[in-house]
Chains A and B, each alone.
Chain A
Amino acid sequence: MSVQFDFRKELITIIPNLRAFATSLAGSFDRADDLVQETLVKAWDKQHTFQPGTNMKAWLFTILRNEFYTQMRKKGREVQDVDGIHAMQLAGHPEQQGHLDLQDFRKALELLPDDQREALILIGASGFSYEEAAEICKCAVGTIKSRVSRARTRIAEILGVEGDGDYGPDSISSQIIGVAPAA
């Protein structure tokens, strides 16, 4: 009984992270929350397989990610179309003050291949170690490292190109650094 209660409580504390990760995978907020809902139902059903003391956040992220890719496979092309439309929606209204940086960044993220984007999010935002991320994505640690570094390079290129034209990689990264103090 009390074990049950704790599971629920822990689950709730991780929901904000699940939503953020789901948004980065699914693109739209609505689809992200549907994904989180599916994840919660699945997690509830298999809560007996969770070993207390192990990383529940990683466990839930794994369920969510599996759910996402299962849905992608089922839906096939339809998903791609929706994603394309969504990328445009997210890219919209950059003129809103204060959100310009974030909008540009969203757009850049959307342009990354799925595997690079998820690696970048898991390491750079969700706070997982490379080892944990590798376990979640079922790949080697070196693969995660390489995806993260390619993702960062690509983001720098995308944002650099949109900023000031074609300078070398070095000046692109320093431009990005120059933008940072706003935050």
Chain B
Amino acid sequence: MSDHESEDEKVQTGQDQRSQPSELGINAAIGKQLKAYYEDVASEPVPDRFLSLLDALDKAESASKTTNRE
């Protein structure tokens, strides 16, 4: 399981076979920070510019379909 990739010391857990993200134990604090960092953006509502963009793409597509049909 643990390959020859330990360049520096060893990973903090000391047990590389526990490779499930949820079981990183000692890395839990970093995991929390990571989620906070990510959620800082991911929890924001979808900006209008993207909804408008999708509307525009949708319209452009149905317009070209109509044109093709006629």
Query: Do A and B interact?
Result: yes
> Interface on chain A toward B: helix, strand, loop, or mixed SS?
helix
Cβ-defined partner of B37 (8 Å) among A19, A105, A169: A105
- Whether B54 contacts A155 by the Cβ 8 Å rule is no
- Whether A121 contacts B41 by the Cβ 8 Å rule is no
- Whether A169 contacts B9 by the Cβ 8 Å rule is yes
Cβ-defined partner of A180 (8 Å) among B16, B32, B47, B53: B32
Cα(A72)–Cα(B31), bound, Å:
28
Cα(A173)–Cα(B9), bound, Å:
14
Given known A19-B44, A101-B33, A183-B32, contact A123–B21 (CB-CB < 8 A): yes
Contact count band on B = 35 or more
Please, which residue of chain A has its CB at the minimum distance from the CB of B26? A173
Q: Mark B28-70, 1 if CB is under 8 A from A, else 0.
A: 1111111111111111101101110110011001000000000
What are the residues of chain A within 8 A of B29 when measuring CB–CB?
A: 176-177, 179-180
What are the residues of chain A within 8 A of B33 when measuring CB–CB?
A: 101-102, 105, 183
Shortest Cβ gap from B1 to chain A (Å): 9
Chain B interfacial positions (CB closer than 8 Å to A)? 3, 5, 7-9, 11-12, 16, 19, 21, 24, 26-44, 46-47, 49-51, 53-54, 57-58, 61
13 new A-B pairs (CB below 8 Å) besides A12-B50, A101-B36, A105-B34? A12-B54, A20-B40, A105-B37, A124-B30, A124-B34, A125-B37, A126-B38, A146-B3, A149-B5, A152-B24, A155-B30, A177-B26, A180-B28
